[in-house]
Amino acid sequence: MRSFNFSAGPAMLPEAVMLKAQSEFLNWNNTTMSVMEMSHRSPEYMALAKKMEADLRDVMTIPDNYHVLFVHGGASLLFTGVPFNLTQPDDTVDYFDTGVWSNKAIKEASRYVNVNVVAGGGSNPTEIPAPSEWNFSNDAKYIHLCSNETITGLEFTEEMLEAVFAQGKPVIADMSSNIMCRDIDVSKYAAIYAGAQKNIGPAGLAILIVRDDLLGQARSDCPTLMNWDTYAQNESMFNTPNTWAWYLAGLVFEWIKDCGGVQAIAAINERKAQKLYDYIDNSGFYSNRIKVSQRSWMNVTFALPSEDLNAAFLAESKAAGLLSLKGHRAFGGMRASIYNAMPEEGVDALIDFMKKFAEQNS
Ligand code: PMP
């Protein structure tokens, strides 16, 4: 009944999560009301919020000296808030410019602080330059990067991240489109942030994981709701949170645990991405432009041999139950977002369809 939905976000959620939410939609936990209708300060909801945070800490092995904050405004308001929380106007900060999302973060930060671009630039780069070409500033307050560029499907490799950590500066990462796709060592980052609408839950919630010593440094004119302290000191409930999104995110974290944790899901993610890239590379029909070692596990972009075929590809894939494959307008072509909730059968079905389409149009 449900199609495979390859949307980049809001994206597919695990079916088990949707069914659980449906089954308790009208009467959550025998409270005889929906979780959506419940005060966020009620003991029942506070217990849900605590469990949700505990499960996330468990799933990502978040050390005790980190706060987990649940915030409004999406990943965009979070990247706007980084300079407000960590710098004064005359400070310098280092940013990687590896695609649309890191570039938006740069544009925003440049309004409030001096930004040095470490590497990258240009429109939709298909590769992150080698560390030998990186240009760090001596006095940067932090280094910012987007670990996975959603539009192109360009992802930092482990080796590159290690080279960034080796600078010994606080590293702030936008992980909106690859959080929880594999195990990471949170303790290497000063802060990690992500919008929920890909691997966490529905839109309208964003998560910030921040080391405690980075709190308490916000500029005096930082808006209250952008100040990380506001969330840290009020259990992320300074004002009314998106209670429904928190609840669903909690179900997603439970689902990850039920699947065997991030490590188990990572093995499936690697397989899903590898088989799709293998097919694309060997098809003689489709092509992917991203440097092979930096290809994303989550967003797989590909082009057809002629743009004239795009409309037919999209119409026929939709008819076959494979939705939202159109690439971002900034990059063109197609994009299959295959986040944690995309079952392996979805990728198999996509490859089958792509094979048939290639045969019919070669
Ligand atoms: N960063 C990345 C990597 C993204 O993919 C997106 C959204 N697609 C954003 C930031 C912005 O997120 P939001 O819409 O939650 O502000």
User: What whole-number distance in Å separates Cα of residue 53 and Cα of residue 30?
Assistant: 22
Residues contributing to the annotated binding site for L-glutamate: 41
Q: Is ligand 1 within 6 A of the CB of residue 81?
A: no
What confidence score (pLDDT) does residue 1 get?
A: 81
CB 294 within 8 A of CB 154: yes
- Residue 101 DSSP class: H
The verdict on residue 121 lying in a domain is: yes
What is the pLDDT tens value at each position of the chain, 362 positions in all? 899 999 999 999 999 999 999 999 999 999 999 999 999 999 999 999 999 999 999 999 999 999 999 999 999 999 999 999 999 999 999 999 999 999 999 999 999 999 999 999 999 999 999 999 999 999 999 999 999 999 999 999 999 999 999 999 999 999 999 999 999 999 999 999 999 999 999 999 999 999 999 999 999 999 999 999 999 999 999 999 999 999 999 999 999 999 999 999 999 999 999 999 999 999 999 999 999 999 999 999 999 999 999 999 999 999 999 999 999 999 999 999 999 999 999 999 999 999 999 999 99
Question: Does residue 342 share a domain with residue 273?
Answer: yes
Range of the structural domain that residue 107 is part of = 26-258
Q: Which of 77, 150, 296, 337 to mutate to test the pocket of ligand 1 (most atoms within 8 A of CB)?
A: 150
Q: Which of 149, 150, 176 to mutate to test the pocket of ligand 1 (most atoms within 8 A of CB)?
A: 176
Tokens of residue 240, six digits: 């009314």
The verdict on residue 283 lying in a domain is: yes
Question: Does residue 214 share a domain with residue 323?
Answer: no
CA distances from 231 to 38, 63, 207, 222, 330 (A): 20, 18, 11, 13, 34
CATH code at position 91: 3.40.640.10
| Long-range contact set of residues 253-256: C-beta below 8 Å, sequence gap at least 24 | 253/52, 253/55, 253/56, 253/58, 253/59, 254/55, 255/14, 255/16, 255/17, 256/59, 256/180, 256/340
CB 257 within 8 A of CB 59: yes
Last residue of a domain, one of 258, 280, 307: 258
CATH code at position 333: 3.90.1150.10
Sign of the dihedral through C-alpha 87, 92, 93, 97: positive
Ligand 1 centroid to Cα of residue 306, in Å, is 29
CA distances from 333 to 104, 163, 220, 249 (A): 22, 32, 45, 31
CB 58 within 8 A of CB 218: no
Ligand 1 centroid to Cα of residue 294, in Å, is 19
**The complex's ipTM?**
0.99
Ligand 1 centroid to Cα of residue 360, in Å, is 36
What confidence score (pLDDT) does residue 192 get?
A: 99
Closest CA to 197 of 188, 185, 189, 205: 205
Last residue of a domain, one of 258, 281, 316: 258
Closest CA to 54 of 39, 40, 42, 64: 64
Residues contributing to the annotated binding site: 41, 75-76, 101, 150, 174, 197, 239-240
Secondary-structure breakdown of the chain: helix, strand, coil percentages, each rounded to the nearest 5: 45, 15, 40
pTM above 0.90, yes or no: yes
Closest CA to 193 of 177, 176, 216: 176
Question: Does residue 55 share a domain with residue 181?
Answer: yes
**DSSP H or E stretch at residue 290:** none
The verdict on residue 2 lying in a domain is: no
Last residue of a domain, one of 258, 279, 300: 258
CA distances from 317 to 2, 35, 313 (A): 14, 36, 6
The verdict on residue 14 lying in a domain is: no
67, β-bridge pairs: 210
Residue type, 170: P
